[in-house]
Amino acid sequence: MINLETPRKFRAFVNQAHQVAAEMLRPNSRAYDLAEHAYPKELDMLAAMVDGLGASGTGSGAGAGGVRRTGAEDDGKVKNGSNLSSVLSIMEMCWGDVGLLLSMPRQGLGNSAIASVASDEQLKRFEGVWAGMAITEPGCGSDSASIQTTARLDGDHYVLNGEKIFVTAGDRCDAVVVWATLDKSLGRAAIKSFVVSKDTPGMTVERLEHKLGIRSSDTATIRFENCRVPAANLLGSPEVDADKGFAGVMQTFDNTRPLVASMAVGCARAALELTRDLLAEAGVELDYDRSIHLQPAAAASYLQMEADWEAAYLLTLQAAWMADNSQPNSLQASMAKAKAGRSANDITLRCVELAGTLGYSEHELLEKWARDSKILDIFEGTQQIQQLIVARRLLGKTSAELK
């Protein structure tokens, strides 16, 4: 049974993550928001520290690169592992700044993709690599099965052709995890993921995007033209299994969606805490012993947001805990992502509203958190896609039966 308290073995690490967020990320938050595309050099030292914690075992599962399914058999014992550790630490870091967390070397979603599905040999070979994630295409957004980028086997290499957009850390990273199809006629079953080094001929970063939020994180468009990738860089099995579909690459989402949910939970908590302080300064008191309808409108609105946040937080913990305990969590991962992403949007915008001019101006970080939160409801599968996945799981419908 899941325990809702932070596991004792993670408490010191989570406290360290909060301290880093308070002393390094949040103080630099506004500066790198205004200096879009400027690389936050302060993160190099932070990334080295996270690497050190992971190597020493004191920060097992630190950051996005820590998630992994062990495949261990159920021995009846509850495991609090790398997935839970990762979401707890990411919550704290995104309490500081979402964009800077996404800019940390070796902590991208591409790293969590490698950690999720790579073989032991690949894990060792790609150790220390900073990997971005390349899924979205100009004609393919939420429907990952419609990917048009192709991978053709030629000897001991795959030849990649296509274009990827909205690649997080696409310019700064060392390699990119690229989703491509081995055979378009076979549909989703032929979709595979490949680790492509940035120095590979035929791979070109076309441009960097200007964005509403997470401006400190670079987002790139990348083109592949006859890009030759070693066959050993294909993650998982190269076999096309029509019955299994593309469950292998989709397993990545079961681990990364709780991470995005934790980003949303952390960002929303930052907004709630600041708004609570601003309300207190304005003389608005929160009374947890009285019904909402008997309290001032601002207090009632705040308490509703707090309850919404609590639901997102618990769903996120559940999805990560299930992954640590080798339980299928595709439904829970999508529920956590859907709830946390939408809740973060609603909470940050309502906090801006409650704070009035302070919330809308750059005097406080509330308006920035509202802008940053929007992407958390979009990437790793939009709100609508998550709801569709949840509906299919609950109703027992296939993707063909429920579109």
Residue 19 forms part of a structural domain: yes
Q: How many angstroms separate the CA atoms of 371 and 146, rounded?
A: 29
Helix (H, G, I), strand (E, B) or coil at 205: strand
Q: How many angstroms separate the CA atoms of 227 and 376, rounded?
A: 31
Give the pairing of strands 219-230 and 203-208.
Answer: antiparallel
Helix (H, G, I), strand (E, B) or coil at 196: strand
Tell me: do 321 and 207 sit in the same domain: no
Give the pairing of strands 157-168 and 203-208.
Answer: unpaired
User: Are the C-beta atoms of residues 129 and 175 closer than 8 Å to each other?
Assistant: yes
Q: What is the CATH number of the domain that holds 319?
A: 1.20.140.10
Tell me: do 275 and 202 sit in the same domain: no
Tell me: do 259 and 318 sit in the same domain: yes
pLDDT band at 55 (very low <50, low <70, confident <90, very high): low
Q: What is the CATH number of the domain that holds 144?
A: 2.40.110.10
Q: Which residues of 298-322 are buried (b: 16+ CB within 10 A; e: fewer)?
A: bbbbbbebbebbeebbebbbbbbbb
Residue 165 forms part of a structural domain: yes
Residue 1 forms part of a structural domain: no
Instruction: Indicate the burial class of 243 (C-beta count within 10 angstroms; 0-12, 13-18, 19 or more).
Output: exposed
User: What are the pLDDT digits (tens) for 272-321?
Assistant: 999 999 999 999 999 999 999 999 999 999 999 999 999 999 999 999 99
User: What are the pLDDT digits (tens) for 117-142?
Assistant: 889 999 999 999 999 999 999 988 87
Q: Which amino acid is at 216?
A: S
Tell me: do 184 and 252 sit in the same domain: no
Tell me: do 255 and 319 sit in the same domain: yes
**Which residues are known to be catalytic?**
380
Residue 381 forms part of a structural domain: yes
Instruction: Quote the number of domains for the chain.
Output: 3
Residue 108 forms part of a structural domain: yes
Q: Which residues of 136-146 are buried (b: 16+ CB within 10 A; e: fewer)?
A: bbeebbbebee
Q: How many angstroms separate the CA atoms of 129 and 126, rounded?
A: 5
User: Are the C-beta atoms of residues 50 and 305 closer than 8 Å to each other?
Assistant: no
Entry field: residues in the chain: 403
Residue 401 forms part of a structural domain: no
Q: What is the CATH number of the domain that holds 29?
A: 1.10.540
User: Are the C-beta atoms of residues 166 and 209 closer than 8 Å to each other?
Assistant: yes
Q: How many angstroms separate the CA atoms of 339 and 335, rounded?
A: 6
Instruction: Indicate the burial class of 259 (C-beta count within 10 angstroms; 0-12, 13-18, 19 or more).
Output: buried
User: What are the pLDDT digits (tens) for 312-352?
Assistant: 999 999 999 999 998 999 999 999 999 999 999 999 999 99
Tell me: do 17 and 116 sit in the same domain: yes
Among 21, 12, 42, CA closest to 262: 21
Which of 125, 141, 168 is the C-terminal boundary of a domain? 125
Q: What is the pLDDT of residue 54?
A: 62
The more confidently predicted of residues 302 and 3 is: 302
pLDDT band at 33 (very low <50, low <70, confident <90, very high): very high
Residue ranges of the alpha helices (H) in 238-296? 247-281
Tell me: do 195 and 283 sit in the same domain: no
Tell me: do 315 and 342 sit in the same domain: yes
User: Are the C-beta atoms of residues 384 and 46 closer than 8 Å to each other?
Assistant: no
Tell me: do 259 and 373 sit in the same domain: yes
Among 389, 377, 375, CA closest to 333: 389
Tell me: do 272 and 372 sit in the same domain: yes
Residue % of the chain over a pLDDT of 70:
92
Which of 235, 268, 300 is the C-terminal boundary of a domain? 235
Among 50, 46, 12, CA closest to 27: 46
Residue 403 forms part of a structural domain: no
Tell me: do 135 and 120 sit in the same domain: no
Which of 96, 125, 154 is the C-terminal boundary of a domain? 125
Q: Which domain holds residue 72?
A: 8-125
Residue 2 forms part of a structural domain: no
User: Are the C-beta atoms of residues 177 and 332 closer than 8 Å to each other?
Assistant: no
State if pTM tops 0.85: yes
Q: Which two tokens stand for residue 270?
A: 């930052």
User: What are the pLDDT digits (tens) for 213-248?
Assistant: 999 999 999 999 999 999 999 998 888 876 555 655
Q: What is the pLDDT of residue 23?
A: 95
Tell me: do 191 and 291 sit in the same domain: no
